[in-house]
Amino acid sequence: MATENKNLSQYDKNTIPNASNFRFGIVVSEWNENITEGLYQGAFDALIDNGVPHNSIIRWDVPGSFELIYGCKKMIEQNVDAVIAIGSVIQGETKHFDFVCAGVTQGIKDLNIITDTPVVFCVLTDNTMQQAIDRSGGKHGNKGTEAAIAAIKMANLKSNS
């Protein structure tokens, strides 16, 4: 199912585990900050809406999506129950988009393998700014909300396994 066929912000609170005892780290890329700030707000609001205390959410900023890898690796050392990596990569004139997207995807995948802390992939990889706007609080909802719900579910899975 493509994003255009679902709303990224919709969730059923009855299906969300109790998150009041979990701690979350959120690492936010500064590139395309008009997008990443919207993603962060969606994630933050969803965590609070599901009972996470404000002081159980740690936010760090990094320069770009490629730096999310190192930022998340260090965030894991803060003994959080899950990490959300927030970025927005938008196609430019060159192949750099391909390498940044592949690099951050593989790096976050590796963290999920190498460490015992779930790292949720909230990195938009869009062809245009409008696509990014549509997915960070626009007509398709907010990927940050979706990522927060995933983080709660993965923190719960970790705590029960």
Ligand X SMILES: Nc1c(NC[C@H](O)[C@H](O)[C@H](O)CO)[nH]c(=O)[nH]c1=O
| Cα 113 from Cα 46, distance rounded (Å) | 26
Task: Return the one option of ligand LTPLIIQW, ligand X, none that residue 32 interacts with (CB less than 5 to 8 A, by type).
Answer: ligand X
Find out whether 108 and 118 touch, Cβ atoms under 8 Å.
Answer: no
Member of 5, 92, 160, 161 binding ligand LTPLIIQW (CB under 6 A):
92
Stretch that binds ligand X, among 14-22, 38-46, 62-70, 107-115 (CB under 6 A): 62-70
Member of 9, 16, 23, 31 binding ligand X (CB under 6 A):
31
Question: Binding of ligand X at residue 90 (CB under 6 A)?
Answer: yes
Member of 70, 77, 96, 114 binding ligand LTPLIIQW (CB under 6 A):
96
Q: Residue 146, annotated ligand binder?
A: no
Member of 27, 69, 76, 100 binding ligand LTPLIIQW (CB under 6 A):
100
CB atoms inside a 10 Å sphere around CB 40: 25
Residue 56 CA neighbour count, 13 Å, CB half = 17
**How far lies 36's CA from each of 14, 73, 84, 103, in Å?**
28, 19, 12, 18
Residue 20, burial from CB neighbour count under 10 angstroms (0-12, 13-18, 19+):
exposed
Closest residue to ligand LTPLIIQW: CB criterion: 92
- In angstroms, how far is CA 150 from the centroid of its own chain? 9
- What residues make contact with ligand X under the rule CB under 6 A? 29, 31-32, 63-67, 87-90, 100
Instruction: Mark the binding-site residues for 5-amino-6-(D-ribitylamino)uracil, compressed into ranges.
Output: 31, 65-67, 88-90, 121
